[in-house]
Amino acid sequence: MRVLIAPDCFGGTLTAREAAEAIATGWHDAKPDDVVVQRPLADGGPGFVDVLHAALDGDIRYVTVTGPLGTPVEARYLQHHTNGTRTAYIESAEACGLHLIPAELRAESCETATTRGVGELVAAAAADNDVIVVGLGGSGTTDGGAGMLAALSDAAVDLTDMSLVAASDVENPLLGPHGAARTFGPQKGATPEAVERLEAKLAAMDVLTPVSNTPGAGAAGGLGAALLSLGATVESGAGLVRELTRLDAALDDTDLVITGEGSFDWQSLRGKLITAVAAGAADRAVPCLAIAGQVTVGRREMAAAGVQDAYSVSEHVGSVQKSIADARKSLIATAGHVARQWSR
C-alpha cells in the first residue's frame, strides 16, 4: 500500500517536516511493508520557507531584522531562480511571528507589536529579485502592516517593477466582526478593550481604506491589506505550496493520504491546507484522513471537506498535556494506531 503523508506544522510543537517524519515513523513501525512518501506542507505561515526550500532547493538568505517587540531577530528568505526569473519567498512569521513574543508579554504587546522586520526582509529581497512572495500566517501583530510600510519608506524601496504576491488562505477582510482585530486579536493576547482599540487604529489607516474589504486584507493582523495597498496580488498559500512541491504528482500515485495540523477546527475548513489536500485526494477518489493535536470538527463537516475520518492525538494519548509533553512520541503512537486501522 502506498501512503502519502502531507501535513502542515503542529502549532508550536512540530514543524511540518517533523510532523511528517513522526507520522511516517509511526506508520512504518506498524506496517513496515507499506510504501510511505512524505510531502510536508505549509500555507504561508510557519514552515513556508523550509517546505519550499526542501522542494525547490535554491539559496537561503539570512537577514537581521526588527522583531515584533523591536529587538533584532534573524530571519530568512528563499531565493530561487527558474527560467530567468528570480523569486524570493518570505515567511512573515520569521520577522513578526507570535512565537517570537513570550506568552507573558502578549497582553501588553498586542497593541504595539510591529511588522517592521517584514518590510526589512522585503527591502533586502527587492535588491536582486524580480518576484517577491510573502507568506502570511502565524503573526503576533495587528498593526495593519504599518511597520512594514514605514521600513520600506525609510529604505526608499521602489517596488514599481516588482511582482509582489501575498500568499495566504485567510479570506477575512480588514475590519468588522470577521476582521483582523476582532477575529485574531484575542489569539494574540488582546482583551476585548484592546481589540476595539486595534479596530479603531486599523480603520484610521487611510492607505488601507481602498482595500479594506478585499478578501485576505485581514491576514496577519492587516499585513495582507498593506501588501494589497502596494499592488500585491493574493494567491492561495496552500495552492502555491501544492504546486511547487509537486503534490499532485504524488497524489496521482498513492492509495491513501494522511494530512494534519495542530488543531482541526472550523478555521481548517475555510480554505486552509487540510481542505486543499483533501480536495486533491477527492479528485482522484483517494481516501484522505487527518491526524491533529485536537479535533473539533464534526463528521458531517469533515466529510463535506473531503476528509473521511480524523484522529485526535490528545485523545489517543489521554490528554492535551501529554500530547504536548512529547509531541513527536505522541504523534508516532497515533499514526501507528491509524495505520493498523487503515492499512490493507
Element housing 87 (H / E): strand 85-91
Q: Is residue 84 within 8 Å of residue 40, measured between CB atoms? A: no
pLDDT tens readout for residues 20-59: 999 999 999 999 999 999 999 998 889 999 999 989 989 9
pTM for this entry: 0.89
Residue given cell 480603520 in the structure block? 203
The DSSP output letter for 44 is: S
Q: Is residue 8 within 8 Å of residue 318, measured between CB atoms? A: no
CATH architecture for the domain at 48-238 = Alpha-Beta Complex (3.90)
Q: Is residue 133 within 8 Å of residue 165, measured between CB atoms? A: yes
C-alpha cell at position 92: 512573515
93 — pLDDT class (breaks 50, 70, 90):
very high
Mean pLDDT (the chain, rounded): 94
Query: How much is the average pLDDT of 260-273?
Result: 80
Query: How much is the average pLDDT of 99-116?
Result: 97
Interatomic CA distance for residues 40 and 67, integer angstroms: 27
pLDDT tens readout for residues 304-337: 889 999 999 999 999 989 999 999 999 999 999 9
Of the given ranges (22-26, 247-251, 294-298, 307-311), which has the lowest mean pLDDT? 294-298
Please enumerate in sequence order all residues whose Cβ is within 8 A of that of 287, keeping only pairs 6 or more positions apart, or say none.
256, 257, 281, 308, 342
Residue given cell 485581514 in the structure block? 218
- Give the orientation angle of helix 146-154 with respect to helix 116-126, to 10 degrees: 40
pLDDT for 266 equals 78
Superfamily of domain 2-40+246-342: Glycerate kinase; domain 1 (3.40.50.10350)
12 — pLDDT class (breaks 50, 70, 90):
confident
pLDDT for 128 equals 92
Q: Is residue 7 within 8 Å of residue 37, measured between CB atoms? A: no
Q: Is residue 131 within 8 Å of residue 163, measured between CB atoms? A: yes
pLDDT for 56 equals 92
**Above pLDDT 70, what percent of the chain?**
99
Interatomic CA distance for residues 71 and 189, integer angstroms: 19
**Position 72 pLDDT exceeds 70:** yes
Interatomic CA distance for residues 197 and 122, integer angstroms: 28
Query: Which residues in the chain belong to E strands, given as ranges?
Result: 2-5, 35-38, 59-66, 72-82, 85-91, 131-135, 163-167, 233-235, 256-264, 288-295, 309-312
CA 294 → CA 42, 220, 284, 312, 313, distances in Å? 18, 23, 27, 5, 6
pLDDT for 57 equals 82
- Tell me the H-state helices in 142-292: 146-154, 192-203, 223-229, 237-244, 247-251, 273-283
Q: Tell me the residue length of the chain.
A: 344
pLDDT tens readout for residues 149-203: 999 999 999 998 899 999 998 899 999 999 999 999 999 999 999 999 999 999 9
**Above pLDDT 90, what percent of the chain?**
83
pLDDT for 305 equals 87
Residue spans per domain, the chain: 2-40+246-342, 48-238
**Per-residue b or e along 233-267, where b marks 16 or more CB atoms closer than 10 Å to that residue's CB:** ebbbbbbbbbebbebeebbeebebbbbbbbbbbeb
